[in-house]
Structure 1
């Protein structure tokens, strides 16, 4: 019978190849490193006295350097024991504890259809590659040249260009005999809710996305037009492509990491996850060939599993700005439940304002290698997040931190790793809160080491040091949306931004790039926004409020939408509602966005100043500490002033009274 590739992959993944071969050979103790899945033995296929037969669990392959035989689980049983392929599959499936699939005519038909769809995707790839070399592709070629890509790199990644035409690809494929149903099944055209289908990708640089078997299964497209609704657009979900299960450049990175891990002093393979297509390509051109990227979304559990299939300790590389740190923290939360002995992640944080593409293009590979060498363990990222930007100067705050750390590490499923994480965090806490005894032995029992220690050096207090007074915030500010973030309700300014755009989607058509760049702090709104933008991009010029609401409700956001609407109505912010005239909604959106950006900039500035104060304190630089504390005080005052300006949100200064052309009095809404 015929077995699907998915079934064969599943049983191969469940049974290490060493478990199959180890029942027939004796592993050499000197050369074998079982903890790394690296095994050596005398070859069972030819007589030899020294071990030259090698198998690797990570690859699921064996090879004899003496006689040259090689293969996978099934080939080994077929060649050594003379089993037929179905018999070999049966034996591996028994070891995996999986029943053989029953003959399924429909499944076999789908498998044939999938094969035909990959042929269509290959034809589309060749078409895009050819178009890049035409006169129509001149602008795209210039863009790639400006980004520093060589002709060899462009050819390696098979980059192409989708012409600015509604039918160019569709007509090309039809002329090759490809059926309309196949073109639609590949996601190459928009065909739902339109009378006539048209090309999904138009006037875009095309990035082919490959499967683990090096077959093109999808595309990413980078818009050439500055006013395009979506700068990057991916293929939709198809029979071939499920975005959350694919990593860009997976196969090439796996080969590179495995090749680099060979040799007498070999280390486990290294794989780096970056954020975008161009980051991967720029790194490859700079000689870093073991990089992958998720497809325009946050890392998923399935993508994390793919990384762990390549290496026990992938490096997740993020921009060093606020958005990058939040993405790193989300990835840490994603990884924590799944870590186990020999399986974790590390985090490399780039300089603020830089991405890997910028770094290697302008400064070469060395700065990026330095960033990688300073990658932080997962435990350190958790510690930094939970202890940052807060003064733990009371028993209550100390207990709160301890409880938060305990709750964070409790999600680790592996009991042994969880126990060591708990021990690690206890030790960190003991050091963090250790009294700093000096000048007669007096100290601050609840002040963290490395913070606020400069006051004693300046002679404040008698016989010991006195920590500087913490820069506090008012109770009103602490309760407000400005600092509450995602721990409670979303900040009102974020709610105004989100619900105004949903109620007035014309704003998306006018300001898509700016709106797409909005970085919400509230986690619910982050997930919400990741659904709004693709829905808007799919609708195109036909985008309407009703269309958005239906799409969002279909993805489970109906309750959140109702809560957001209720929040703006409770605050009497009629300009964020559907009833507001477009002019008022636009002005309200702009003022909310301005307040949002200013607040985020102040918070980032505050974080940078606090880091600088900590560094200056550790170095004993008293002059810098005084200057930095004054600057921090000014920033804190500005944040307080912003809080006092929340009255501006209660109207945003645009009370024209227009409600979609119907005049009302300003106070009537």
Structure 2
């Protein structure tokens, strides 16, 4: 499909911008232009102008600016081609087809859309007629207003095998079967109506066209809710109920609320939350998550407080992890146990719903809470299993920076939960195996390295041996991949280094990372200036220097982050284990008890494991 500039200009020329915008925004004439309160930000005095002659709109308040196509993509939330197609339909223009097959598919889709629109009209007529009395009574019991009924286009399918088939006979059985409106049992018996005796909910695409239906049984029967099957128009894993209305509403509110079903969406819309959507009988899919992220960066998933609702939340969290990228995530609001949105709003009003939404948990908080509660944490093995589960969660994230931050956050929470000791007199907690002291600003605003807390007896990393070799490898890797400094800053700050030049090199790298998340290698060298520290850094950048990520390799960023995390942990652990052994030995000498002996042996086993891992890390893979 080729859309030439000339064709697009003709489309814009045939579109009355004030009429287009006036469909959803109240506009008024102001000389040769039109004005309105801006739909892109809240204001009481109109600063939004529309110029039909020039074909653009502009807001002097927030700077929103564009033409008819931009209006459809920014305000309506349509993809570019969907915006063009809708404008072309209104202007009476044919969108160029790429080839005859594409033209045939477009013609077929047009016929299916017309059949679905006719079915929608039929269902609405039935709801208003004699047969729709029970469905109208159900809506009244649920407190659904006539305005909401019209907005969502409720209908009714008669309890008959052939009324819809007869009413839409001009479309032919094959098309009605393909649209999912009829069921063709085996090709020999007659096709019959799929939806019978149900309250009907039209399911629309982003352009507001009916592409499928959902039907709720009235009275006894199964299933309670029945959706259209997948068709050329409808893929339930890519569609969200109410997407056509929620998309523009989300641009006003700045949020999207994801709930479990049709009636939840409808109850929220009636209570003043039009930015609500729901998946269609399945767990939230990757395609639906991406669709939500086109509206807002952090959608709110609102689930029931029961076990089923919480399982649904974790399924959504698990599915989202590989897709995470900077700025884009999910958060989770939990309803009171035993209540859906309609129950909560009826009992306590819209403000109660706002409070639930305001208390939404971040994705990392929900994962942490879930994993901590997943099993007892009484034994070392159970605690290690928790650490393994958390690592699996962070490893599922594909984006290297997001993965590194999740791993860092999980590690800090884990250490704080299991290794925190009693606070010192200064009120600062010390930790064994984590809890790095933090850098602080001085009175001039400069970043200063942390001072070890009083009583810290862990020795510094020496100037020789395997620890020193591993330290140089870590520093070389950080010089080659300076974007890794910030994610590991707290752990690096905990290292005590005996070699003054290496200590100064690390301190400079950490200090620079506070001013800029990603520091360039050359910038670091410039800051170091000339002298011993500069020469040591230059030497580490030689191709033959042992590094966790050899210079000649194009290292995977994820592997760089994981290797650094492990190496830093092992380096910090050695001096701390030795200090812990000194304390354990003092306690044993003072009180020769079985418990003190067991603690001494436990730390000795940890030291042996540490020495083994240190030897592995300090030995390059290719023996250089």
Supply the distance in 1 between the matched residues of 2:269 and 2:71 (Cα, whole angstroms).
28
Match of 1:169 among 161, 164, 171: 164
SS in 2 for 1:424: helix
Residue 116 of structure 1 and its aligned partner are, at CA, apart by 1.6
| Residue 360 of structure 1, CA deviation | 1.5
Cα offset for 1:374? Answer: 0.3
Q: Provide Cα deviations, 1:32-76, integer angstroms capped at 9, x if missing partner.
A: x9xxxxxx9xx997999997894589x97269xxxxxxx997999
Compared CA separation, residues 412 and 214, structure 1 to 2 (3 A)? same
Question: 1:148–1:361: 8 Å Cα contact kept in structure 2?
Answer: no
Larger Cα-atom Rg: 2
2:203 to 189, 209, 220: 209
Deviations 1:71-106 (A, max 9, x none): 9979999xxxxxxxx9xx9xxxxxxxxxxx994212
Give the counterpart of 2:313 among 311, 317, 328. 328
Distance in 2 of aligned mates of 1:74 and 1:192: 37
For 1:110, the equivalent position in structure 2 comes to 105
* Residue 200 of structure 1 pairs with residue 194 of structure 2: yes
Q: Which residue of 1 aligns with 2:144?
A: 149
1:186 paired with 2:186, answer no
Which secondary structure does the structure 2 equivalent of 1:201 belong to? coil
> Equivalents in 1 of 2:225, 2:82: separation in Å?
43
8 Å Cα contact 2:371/2:389 also seen in 1: yes
**1:340-392 deviation digits (Å, cap 9, x = unpaired):** 11111100111111111221233221111111000000000110111015442
Give 5+ residue unaligned stretches, structure 2: 9-39, 41-47, 73-77, 85-92, 433-624
1:299 alignment counterpart: 284
Q: Unmatched 5+ residue regions in structure 1?
A: 9-32, 34-39, 64-70, 78-85, 90-100, 261-268, 447-669
Change (3 A) 1:76 1:281: closer
Q: Distance in 2 between matches of 1:240 and 1:423?
A: 44
2:64 is the alignment partner of 1:61: no
TM norm structure 2: 0.54
In 2, are the aligned partners of 1:169 and 1:199 still within 8 Å (CA)? yes
Distance 1:433-1:155 versus aligned 2 partners, 3 A rule: same
- Counterpart contact for 1:206–1:220, Cα < 8 Å: yes
Of 224, 241, 247 in structure 1, the residue corresponding to residue 240 of structure 2 is 247
Looking at structure 2, the residues matched to 167 and 436 of structure 1 have their Cα atoms a distance apart, in angstroms, of: 74
1:431 partnered with 2:416: yes
Please report how far the alpha carbon of residue 437 of structure 1 lies from its aligned counterpart in structure 2 after TM superposition.
Answer: 3.3
- What is the match of residue 256 of structure 1? 249
Which residue of 2 is the match for residue 287 of structure 1?
272
Aligned-pair CA distance for 1:133? 1.3
Report what 2:394 is aligned to: 409
C-alpha deviation, 1:402, in angstroms: 1.3
Provide closer, same or farther for how the CA distance between residues 398 and 428 of structure 1 changes in structure 2, counting only shifts above 3 A: same
Q: Which residue of 2 aligns with 1:624?
A: none
Matched with 1:139 is 134
CA-to-partner distance for each residue in 1:216-244, whole Å, 9 max, x for gaps? Answer: 00000000131x12100000111111111
Q: Would you say 1:311 and 2:296 are equivalent positions? A: yes
Partner residue, 2:595: none
CA distance in 2, matches of 1:76, 1:211: 12
Partner SS, residue 207 of structure 1: strand
Cα distance, 1:439–1:304 mapped onto 2, change above 3 Å: closer
Q: Distance in 1 between matches of 2:183 and 2:339?
A: 35
Partner Cα distance (2:259, 2:368) in 1: 22
Alignment of 1:483-562 (within 5 A): none
SS state at 1:130 partner: helix
Partners in 2 of 1:132 and 1:236 — Cα distance? 23
1:238 maps onto 2:192 in alignment:
no
Task: Tell me if structure 1 keeps the 8 A contact 2:97–2:103.
Answer: no
1:370/1:75 Cα in 2 relative to 1: closer, same or farther (>3 Å)?
closer
> Does the CA contact (< 8 Å) of 2:207 and 2:244 recur in 1?
yes
Is the CA contact (8 Å cut-off) linking 2:173 and 2:191 kept in structure 1?
no
Distance in 2 between the 1:230 and 1:344 partners? 34
Superposition CA RMSD, Å: 4.0
Count of aligned residue pairs for this structure pair: 375
Q: Is the contact between residue 53 and residue 62 of structure 1 (CA under 8 Å) also seen in structure 2?
A: no
Give, in whole Å, the separation in 1 of the partners of 2:374 and 2:234: 42
Choose from 366, 370, 373 the match for 1:388: 373
**Pairing 1:378–2:363 present:** yes
Report the Cα distance in structure 1 between the residues aligned to 2:272 and 2:384, rounded to whole angstroms.
48
**What is the rounded CA distance, in whole Å, between the counterparts of 1:159 and 1:181 in structure 2?**
26
Per the alignment, in what secondary structure is the counterpart of residue 241 of structure 2? coil
Provide the C-alpha distance between the structure 2 equivalents of 1:216 and 1:48, rounded to a whole number of angstroms: 30
Give the distance between the partners of 2:157 and 2:56, measured in 1 at CA: 57
Distance 1:180 1:272, change over 3 A: same
Q: C-alpha displacement at 1:396, in angstroms?
A: 2.5
**1:622 corresponding residue in structure 2:** none
Q: Is the 8 A contact 1:55 1:61 kept in 2?
A: no
Distance change (3 Å), C-alpha of 1:389 and 1:259: closer
Query: In structure 2, what is the Cα distance between the partners aligned to 1:168 and 1:256?
Result: 37
Secondary structure class of the residue paired with 1:243? coil
Report the Cα distance in structure 2 between the residues aligned to 1:368 and 1:180, rounded to whole angstroms: 46
- Residue 294 (structure 1) shift: 0.3
Distance 1:291 1:47 in 2: 30
Q: Which digits, 9 at most, give the CA deviation of each residue in 1:451-485, with x for residues without a partner?
A: xxxxxxxxxxxxxxxxxxxxxxxxxxxxxxxxxxx
Give me the whole-angstrom Cα distance separating, in 2, the residues matched to 1:129 and 1:362: 31
Aligned equivalents of 1:74, 1:287: Cα separation in 2: 31
